[in-house]
Amino acid sequence: GAGVSQSPSNKVTEKGKDVELRCDPISGHTALYWYRQSLGQGLEFLIYFQGNSAPDKSGLPSDRFSAERTGGSVSTLTIQRTQQEDSAVYLCASRSLAEETQYFGPGTRLLVL
């Protein structure tokens, strides 16, 4: 079946601009995660959605970062007033309640000039 998809695959933006990154989880997966992979930093957790519960935003680095999940499926990660340190690969993952394994998308590579 179809895996997790993310768009765009690459995004180049200018400092100060807003960007939106999209994630389509695996159909039927109720849990959705965003991670950031920065050079030399490894992967860090950003935010987690589970069904209709309030999202766990504990990993968001600043209030410039926000995410929403519409209809329990597609999620959008928004970064406002981008900074150069926001340059990274943003990975989305989804998980079903029946198992603990997270399945990752290919990521969006963001470059802030």
Partner 1 sequence: AQSVTQPDIHITVSEGASLELRCNYSYGATPYLFWYVQSPGQGLQLLLKYFSGDTLVQGIKGFEAEFKRSQSSFNLRKPSVHWSDAAEYFCAVGPSNTGTASKLTFGTGTRLQVTL
Q: Are 70 and 78 in contact (CB under 8 A)?
A: no
Minimum CB separation of residue 104 from partner 1 in Å reads 4
Of the candidate spans 18-26, 63-71, 80-88, 102-110, the one that interacts with partner 1 by CB under 8 A turns out to be 102-110
Residues paired with residue 88 on neighbouring β-strands, in sequence order: 110
Distance CA 112, CA 80 (A): 12
- Of 91, 90, 47, which Cα lies nearest the Cα of 68? 47
Asked if 79 and 65 touch (Cβ cutoff 8 Å), the reply is: yes
Which pair of tokens denotes residue 76? Answer: 């959008």
Nearer to partner 1, 43 or 74 (CB): 43
Site string for partner 1, 24-63 (x = CB under 8 A): -------x-x-x----xxxxxx--x-x-----x--x----
Question: Where does this chain bind partner 1 (CB under 8 A)?
Answer: 4, 31, 33, 35, 40-45, 48, 50, 56, 59, 91, 93, 95, 100-107
